[in-house]
Structure 1
Amino acid sequence: MSWCCRLGVFHSGLPSVTWLKMMQIPRHGVADGSDECISRLSELTGIDEELVRATAISRQGERVVRHRAERFGGDFALRTHTTYCPACLLEDAEPGGLSAGRRVGRVNWMFAPVRTCSVHGTLLVRRGNRGFHERFQDMALVAPNDAELDRLASHAQQRPPSLLQTYVEQRFEGVQAFEWLDAQPLDQAVRASEMLGACLAFGAHTDLDKLTMSQWCEAGTAGFEATSKGPEGIRAALESVEAASRKSKSAGGPQAAYGRLYQWLQFKKSKREPGPVREVVRDYILDTMVIEPGTKLFGEEVLVRRRHSVRTLSATSGVHPRTLNRALVRAGVLPNGDEMRVDARTSFGAAEGDALARRIVNSIPIKRIPEYLNCNRTQAATLVRVGILPQVTPGLGGRGGILTNVATEDLDGFLVSFRSQGRRVVTPSDGMVDVITASEIVKETVTDIVRLVIEGALTRVETLDRTLKFRSVLVDPEEVREVVQAREGQVGLSVQEVAAKVKLSYSAVMALFKHAGPGGFPVLRSQKIVNARGTVRHRIEEKKIARFEAEHVSLDALSEERHATSEDLLRSLQAASIDPVFCGSGKHDLIFRRADL
C-alpha cells in the first residue's frame, strides 16, 4: 500500500487514489494483495512478481491472510489501526534517503505483536483508524505533520523489541529455530505466548484491556521465554502462575489459578482456534488439579480422573477421610502431608490413591489371616511382622485400626509367589513335608524357610493342590538344614566353634564381643544373624579369629603350646608379674596378650 502511494507521485505526480484508478488497479485489491493486483503492478513496474508479493498482506479467504510463507488470522494484521515510528518517518523525509524524501510504511508495523521500532528502540505509535478510508495506509495522510512527528519522536518511550516480536520478524524471514512454536500458525504461537506472558508478568487476573503497549512487550518476552521451550516450558510457567495466584486466591479451581488464560481457553469468543497450547494447559490442569469426570474442560469432556483430593477419594471409596489421609501420608502418596490434618487444597495422583483405597477396602485383620492362608496365628503374625505380608500401612503396630490389616491382593500374591517355586505333585515324594513340619524338624522358623522357598534357594520344592494354600508347599528338611548351615558358614565360625578353637568357654567368647581392648574396640567382633523369631546367632570371620590368636592367647591354649600344666604356667606368669587382660568365670577363661609374654 505504501509503495503504491509512492508510485503514483513518482511516475505522475498524482495522489495514489487517482493514479490507481487511472491504472485500473482497485484499492481493495492493493489492500488485500490480490493476485490480479500483484501481477498488474509487476507488469507496470518491471519488478519481479514474487518481490512485489513479499511486501503484501494477502487475503486467502474468510478470516485468513498471508504474508510471505506465513498464514494467520485476519486480526493478526491490524487493518483497523494505524501504526508508525515517528523517527523513521522523519528520516524518510530526508531528500537523499532511499525513498527520495517520501514517507514509507513498514509492513511489519501492521502486525499486532510488533510494538517497538527495532531501528530506534522506541515504542511505535498505534491508534485506531479514524474511518474506513485509513485502512489504506498512506503515511503521508494517516501520520501527522513533521512538527508533530518531531514532538512524538522526542517523547517516545525507549523500549527494546520483545523476544516475541523478534521471533515474529525472524519467522517472516524464514528462520525456524523453535520446534513447538514453528509447527503452528504464527498468530496461534503469538497469542499463546502473549496470554501466558500477561499472566506471568502481571498476574492471572490482570485486566488485559488496560495493559499498555509497553506492558504487552513485557508480556511478550515473558511468554516467549516459556513457549519457546515447548510444553515443558509452558508447564513450568503454569506452575509459577498458579503459585502467584494462590497468594491471593488460596482456594478455587483452575479459573482461580489461571484466570485470563483459563477464560480464554474455556470461554473462547473468537472462532479462531487457540492451537496446541490448549492441550498443553488442559493436560497440566488434569495432571495437577482435581477435575471431576464429566466436566467440560476447554470444549472436551473429561473422561478419566487424574487427580484426587482426600474428600473425593473418600466419596468414591467409602473410606473415612481421616483414615485415608493417614494412609496417604504414610504411603508417600502425600509426602508433605500432615497425617493428623486433612488439607482440602492438596491433591494427588488418582491411580495411586485409588490403588491404596482399594487395598484398604479389600483387606482383612491379621487375626483372619490363618483362615485365609490355612496356617496358624503365630505363623500369620510372624509373616506380617517380618514384612513378607505387608500391612496396608506398615509401622502402625496394633494401633492403626483398619490400616494394620493386610490386603487380600497381597495375600493372594504371596501364595502365588510361594507356590511358583515348586513342582506340582499329587502325592509327596519321600522325605518331603510342609514348611510347618520342616520347621519343627530342623529347628528353624517357618518364616525363614518361607524366605528360602521364595528366594529360590531350595532345589527340592513340591506343591500339592492349591486349595491347601500355605500347607500346599513341601520342602526337604535335610536340604533346608544344609542350606541354612551353608549360609551361616559363609561368614565364619559359630561361637561354639570359636570357643573350641581358642580354648575358651562359650560365655567367655560371648563376653569378648563387649570387652574393649586398648584401642577402645571389642577384642573380638561378630556378625549377627537374626532369624524370623528374633533369635540372634553370632558368626565370626576366620581372619578375625586369626588376628585374635596372633595378639592373644588363653591360659589353656598357652598350656598346650608350652607343654605345661595350666597351674604351673599360671604360677610362672604371676611370678613374672604378667597379668591377664581378660578374666572370665574361672582360670580357664584367662586371656593374656602375647606381647606381654
Structure 2
Amino acid sequence: MRRGRWEWSLSVVRTCPVHEIPLLRQAQVAWDDKLHELDRRVPERGVELEEMIERAGRRPVSPLQDYVLRRLSGIAGPDWLDAQTLDQATRATELLGVLVAYGPAQKLPQLTSGGWDHAGRVGFEFTSRGEVGIREALEAQLRKFDDATGTPGARKIFGCFYNALGHSKSLKDPGDIARIFREVITENIAMPAGTKVLGVELRERRLHTVASLAKEQGLDSRTLSDVLVAAGVIPDKAPAHFPIPVQKGREVASRVKRLVHVKSLPDALFCARPLVDQFFADRLITPIFYGRPGVKGRTQKAVDRAEIAMLVGNLHAKAVALDAETDGLVSVSKASEKAKVPAIVVVHMILGGFLENVFRLGGQDGISALRVDPEEVKQHRAFCTKGLSAMEASASLKIPRTVFWGLVDRCPQEVSLAVAWIVGPEGGHRIPRFDPALVADFKARFVHPAQIAEQHDLEVGEVVRRLKRSGVRSVLSRIEVGVSYYRTRDLETDLFL
C-alpha cells in the first residue's frame, strides 16, 4: 500500500494542516532519493526532532494551499481561479503576491519557502476576487510610480512580475493573468506602435507622453504641456511619463497649431486692443490659460484661430457687401464713440440682429471692415446696456474676470452670480448683463482676503493668518475659482483691528 502524505509533494503545500507546522523540504542528494522511505531521508530522531519542531513555530494553512487541496477534492472555489489550470492559478497567485509583498526588485530564486508561503497568502487576497482584484493590485503598483522621474516602463514598474510572465524560459501558458497584465500595461503606459507586450505586438499607439506627442506633432513640448494643462488633459506639474490618450492629445495638439497669441489678436481681428479685452470680458472669445485658477502668473496666452474665424465669420454673415465708403455709415469703433457705448456693445448689437444696416467694406478684413449707422446704435443703446457689463461688475467686486465668470458658472449655488441675459430679435445671441442690486448684495454678503486687507490696511497674508487662527472657514475655496470667499456675517468685528 502507498505510504506517506501525497499532498506534501505539491510545492504549494508548505504547512502541515494537522499540526499547523511549516514543512521542511530536504534537498535531493541522489536521483533515487524520492524512492526512499521517509525515515531514511530524515535522519533526525528523538530530542533532535523535537527541537526542530519547536524551532519551526506555528502558522495556519495559507488560503492558497487550502484552495488547491479543496480543488483536488472536487470542491469549487473562486470563479476566476477555477477557470485556470491548477498550475496557472497557483503561479499567478504567488507571483502577484511576490510583487505586492516584496516589490518589483525581489529576485525570485532568493525567496525562501516561508517567503513563497507569505506571497501566496497575499496574492490570494487579489486573485480570489478575479480580474477586479488582480487589476486593483497591478494598478496600485502603477500608482507608486506616479511621481517617478523619467519615463519608467513596465519592466521597471513591475520588475520580477513582468520578467516572470514576459521573459519566462518555460513554455507553459501563464493563463488569463497574462491578458489582464497586458491590458493594464497598455492602458497606463505610453508605448509606440509595434512594441511587443508579453509577446503580443501593439498594433497602434494608445497613449502618448508630452514628449512623444510633441515629437509626433512637431511642437515645442513646453507650450504643448501648458495647453494640455489648460485643457485639463494632464495635471499641473505632471510627471514626464503621465499618459495622454492619443485622440485627446492629438486634438489639443491641433489646437496648439492654430494658436494665436493674445498680443497678436488686434492684428488677427483687425481691431483695437481695448475691444480685444472686451471680447474676453464678455466671453465672445475664450482665452487658453496656462496654470490653475489662483496660481501666481496664470495668464491668458492665446486663442484658438478657429474661434477667431468663427467670430469674424458670424459678424460678416450679418453684413451686406459694400463697394465704397458711404455717408452715414461708420466703423464699429467710431459708432461706439458717437453713441457713447463700449465697442463691444456695437458688436453685440450686430450679432444679436438689433441693427438692420450692417455692411462689410470690400478690401478690408475682420472688425475693421464692418460699417454701421451710429444713429441706429443710439436707438438700441438703452435696451442693450441695462445693468452692468461683465467688466463693470467684476471691477465693482474688485476681482479678475476669470474669478468673476467662475462665480457666474456656479449659479445658482450660494456663492454665485446670476446673469440677466438680453436676447436679440433673432434669438440666437445673448448679451450678458448684471443687475447692480444683485452685485451689491453679493458684495455685502461675501468678502475675500484682499478686500479685507484693503479695508483694514493689512497685508493679505496677515488677514489669512488671522482668519485661520480664529477658525473662520471659507464658503468658497481658492482652488475652485481662484479666490477664497468668506461670509461677512461670520467675521468678528474686532478680528482685524
- 2:251 is aligned with 1:355: yes
Whole-Å Cα distance in 1 between the matches of residues 236 and 194 of structure 2?
A: 30
Whole-Å Cα distance in 2 between the matches of residues 316 and 304 of structure 1?
A: 14
Q: In structure 2, what is the equivalent of residue 392 of structure 1?
A: 288
Q: In structure 2, what is the equivalent of residue 264 of structure 1?
A: 164
- Whichever of the two has the greater Rg, that structure is 1
Q: In structure 2, what is the equivalent of residue 407 of structure 1?
A: 304
Q: In structure 1, what is the equivalent of residue 20 of structure 2?
A: 121
Whole-Å Cα distance in 2 between the matches of residues 236 and 209 of structure 1?
A: 26
Whole-Å Cα distance in 2 between the matches of residues 333 and 436 of structure 1?
A: 38
Q: 1:143 to 1:385 in 2, by over 3 A?
A: same
What secondary structure, in the 3-state scheme, does the structure 2 residue paired with 1:405 have? strand
Q: 1:322 to 1:336 in 2, by over 3 A?
A: closer
Given that residues 159 and 214 in structure 1 are in contact (C-alpha distance below 8 angstroms), is that contact kept between their aligned partners in structure 2? no
Matched AA of 2:64: L
Shift of 1:537: 6.7
Whole-Å Cα distance in 2 between the matches of residues 458 and 175 of structure 1?
A: 78
Please list the CA deviations of residues 300-325 of structure 1 after superposition, one character each: whole Å capped at 9, or x if unmatched: 22233344333323322332233334
Please list the CA deviations of residues 525-561 of structure 1 after superposition, one character each: whole Å capped at 9, or x if unmatched: xx997999x99975448xx9xxxxxxxxxxxxxxxxx
Of residues 49, 61, 65, the one that matches 1:161 is: 61
Given that residues 365 and 402 in structure 1 are in contact (C-alpha distance below 8 angstroms), is that contact kept between their aligned partners in structure 2? no
Whole-Å Cα distance in 2 between the matches of residues 269 and 164 of structure 1?
A: 25
Q: In structure 1, what is the equivalent of residue 218 of structure 2?
A: 318
Given that residues 194 and 219 in structure 1 are in contact (C-alpha distance below 8 angstroms), is that contact kept between their aligned partners in structure 2? yes
- 2:127 is aligned with 1:227: yes
Q: 1:247 to 1:169 in 2, by over 3 A?
A: farther
Shift of 1:121: 1.1
Shift of 1:346: 5.0
Whole-Å Cα distance in 1 between the matches of residues 127 and 354 of structure 2?
A: 60
Whole-Å Cα distance in 1 between the matches of residues 248 and 70 of structure 2?
A: 46
**Count, aligned residues:** 381
Please list the CA deviations of residues 227-267 of structure 1 after superposition, one character each: whole Å capped at 9, or x if unmatched: 33344433443355456689999874322222111112221
Whole-Å Cα distance in 2 between the matches of residues 389 and 234 of structure 1?
A: 47
Given that residues 193 and 202 in structure 2 are in contact (C-alpha distance below 8 angstroms), is that contact kept between their aligned partners in structure 1? yes
Shift of 1:411: 4.0
Q: 1:535 to 1:364 in 2, by over 3 A?
A: closer
Shift of 1:213: 0.9
User: Which stretches in structure 2 are left out of the alignment for 5+ residues?
Assistant: 322-328, 389-416, 423-430, 442-497
Whole-Å Cα distance in 1 between the matches of residues 169 and 355 of structure 2?
A: 74
Whole-Å Cα distance in 1 between the matches of residues 241 and 108 of structure 2?
A: 28
Whole-Å Cα distance in 2 between the matches of residues 359 and 150 of structure 1?
A: 77
Shift of 1:112: 2.3
Q: 1:535 to 1:249 in 2, by over 3 A?
A: closer
Q: 1:151 to 1:484 in 2, by over 3 A?
A: same
Matched AA of 1:183: A
Of residues 68, 81, 86, the one that matches 1:181 is: 81
Whole-Å Cα distance in 2 between the matches of residues 410 and 136 of structure 1?
A: 83
Please list the CA deviations of residues 317-371 of structure 1 after superposition, one character each: whole Å capped at 9, or x if unmatched: 3322333344344444442418xxxx54555444444333321122234576678
Alignment of 1:77-476 (within 5 A): 103-106=3-6, 108-129=7-28, 133=32, 147=46, 152-176=52-76, 178-241=78-141, 252-337=152-237, 344=240, 346-366=242-262, 379-393=275-289, 404-411=301-308
Please list the CA deviations of residues 49-98 of structure 1 after superposition, one character each: whole Å capped at 9, or x if unmatched: xxxxxxxxxxxxxxxxxxxxxxxxxxxxxxxxxxxxxxxxxxxxxxxxxx
Q: In structure 2, what is the equivalent of residue 556 of structure 1?
A: none
Alignment of 1:526-541 (within 5 A): 539-540=436-437
What secondary structure, in the 3-state scheme, does the structure 1 residue paired with 2:288 have? coil
Matched AA of 1:404: K
After superposition, the CA RMSD in angstroms is: 5.4
Whole-Å Cα distance in 1 between the matches of residues 12 and 305 of structure 2?
A: 61
Given that residues 84 and 175 in structure 2 are in contact (C-alpha distance below 8 angstroms), is that contact kept between their aligned partners in structure 1? yes
TM-score (norm 2): 0.58
Which of 1 and 2 has higher RCO (CA within 8 Å, sep 6+)? 2
Alignment of 1:468-487 (within 5 A): none
Q: 1:235 to 1:137 in 2, by over 3 A?
A: farther
TM-score (norm 1): 0.50
Shift of 1:209: 1.0
Whole-Å Cα distance in 2 between the matches of residues 104 and 452 of structure 1?
A: 97
Shift of 1:443: 7.3
- Percentage of matched positions with identical amino acids: 27
User: Which stretches in structure 1 are left out of the alignment for 5+ residues?
Assistant: 7-102, 428-432, 490-526, 545-597
Whole-Å Cα distance in 2 between the matches of residues 336 and 401 of structure 1?
A: 12
Matched AA of 2:113: M
Whole-Å Cα distance in 1 between the matches of residues 173 and 42 of structure 2?
A: 34
Given that residues 161 and 217 in structure 1 are in contact (C-alpha distance below 8 angstroms), is that contact kept between their aligned partners in structure 2? no
Whole-Å Cα distance in 1 between the matches of residues 77 and 40 of structure 2?
A: 39
